[in-house]
């Protein structure tokens, strides 16, 4: 996933309260209507929370709005969270192996 183009630019995160949140919502709305990879956009949003770039409250607020875009959004969101969890677990295992070796 790291090689893919970002759907959540750093500028939007820096200016989350001033307009980044709205930019992300517009982007997510368009992606949902075009049936493209909304899962990637949700993964990136969640990943920024894990890395500390966004606060939990900021992401949960926008997720509450996004969940209304499509009927299958809860399932898509669950998939994005699972992918994020696996990604984090792999990073932890790699770090542990580096410590052991």
Q: Evaluate whether residue 78 is within a structural domain.
A: yes
Question: Is residue 5 situated within a structural domain?
Answer: no
pLDDT value at residue 3? 42
Query: Residue 75 domain-assigned?
Result: yes
Report the distance separating Cα 50 and Cα 86, nearest Å: 13
Whether 3 is covered by a domain: the verdict is no
Number of domains into which the chain is organized: 1
Within a domain: residue 25?
A: yes
Residue range(s) defining the domain that contains residue 48: 10-100
Joined tokens for residue 82: 């699972």
Residue 4 lies in a domain: no
Q: Is residue 54 part of a domain?
A: yes
Backbone angles phi, psi at 58, to 5 degrees: -65, -45
What's the whole-model pTM score? Answer: 0.67
Reported as a single tens digit per residue, the pLDDT across 6-18 is 777 888 888 888 9
pLDDT digits (tens, 9 = 90+) for 22-72: 888 888 887 777 666 788 888 888 999 999 998 999 889 888 888 888 888
């Amino acid at each position: 996933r790291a090689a893919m183009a970002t759907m959540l630019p750093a500028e939007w995160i820096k200016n989350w309260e001033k307009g980044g949140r709205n930019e992300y919502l517009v982007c997510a709305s368009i992606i949902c209507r075009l049936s493209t990879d909304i899962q990637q956009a949700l993964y990136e949003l969640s990943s920024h929370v894990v890395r500390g770039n966004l606060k939990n409250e900021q992401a949960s607020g926008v997720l509450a709005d996004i969940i209304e875009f499509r009927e299958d959004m809860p399932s898509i969101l669950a998939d994005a969270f699972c992918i994020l969890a696996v990604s984090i677990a792999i990073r932890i295992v790699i770090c542990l192996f580096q410590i052991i070796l």
